[in-house]
Amino acid sequence: MRTLYYSPNSRSDTIVTLVRMLSADVTLHEVTIVRQDGSGVRDPANPHPEGKVPYLTDGDDAVRERGAIVLYLTDAYPDAGLGPLAGEAGRGAYLSWLSYYQGVMEPLLILKWAGVEHPAINAGLRDYDTMIERLAEPLRHGPWLLGERFSAADMLCSSPFLWFTAMLPEEPAIRDWVERCKERISVVAA
């Protein structure tokens, strides 16, 4: 039995929406978390080693980090068509976007929000403007990160801009894409 540990109004919301879009057989288990403003408490019912969300368990297996959970679930529920499978066109781009989100986008967005800059960040991750340009490149040629195909990578990579609208760049290709993602996701929420 798969169980997703989540907390409303957190980064786990995207995964809850994905579970619904996949029509996945996943039990949703709400837990409390420590919030960025210091409020909240770690929930003893949350098995995540750091008390964070989302966290997915599947029998004796466990998956943490949103990109990994997205991949795990889209591979487990291929009929929904939200992620190319191994051997399908677009698989490399899909894996790259999931990893780019975790390894570059989210850290740069957090660092920008926190007002932290350093040459080592630029050397390792690049800078915020470069990240925005990488994101905009495929969106100038197609409506989605994988061209004509909407995927869970669109959900993941657009999610910070849906939550932190002040971080939404002026780049029209990204603004239009975020709006398309918002419309697509709102259908599920309704």
pLDDT tens-place string over residues 152-179: 999 999 999 998 888 899 999 999 999 9
Q: Are residues 74 and 96 in the same domain?
A: no
Q: Are residues 58 and 18 in the same domain?
A: yes
Given 80, 115, 147, the domain boundary residue is 80
Q: What is the pLDDT of residue 180?
A: 97
- Residue 21 clears pLDDT 60, i.e. is over it: yes
Range of the domain at 71: 2-80
Q: Are residues 69 and 105 in the same domain?
A: no
CB atoms within 10 A of CB 49: 9
How many domains does the structure of the chain reveal? 2
Of 147, 156, 158, nearest in space to 180 by CA: 158
- Residue 189 clears pLDDT 70, i.e. is over it: no
Does 86 reside within a domain?
no
Could you read off the pLDDT of 59-76 as tens digits, one per residue?
999 999 999 999 999 999
Crossing angle (nearest 10°) for helices 66-76 and 152-163: 140
- Residue 190 clears pLDDT 70, i.e. is over it: no
Structure tokens at 165: 């609208």
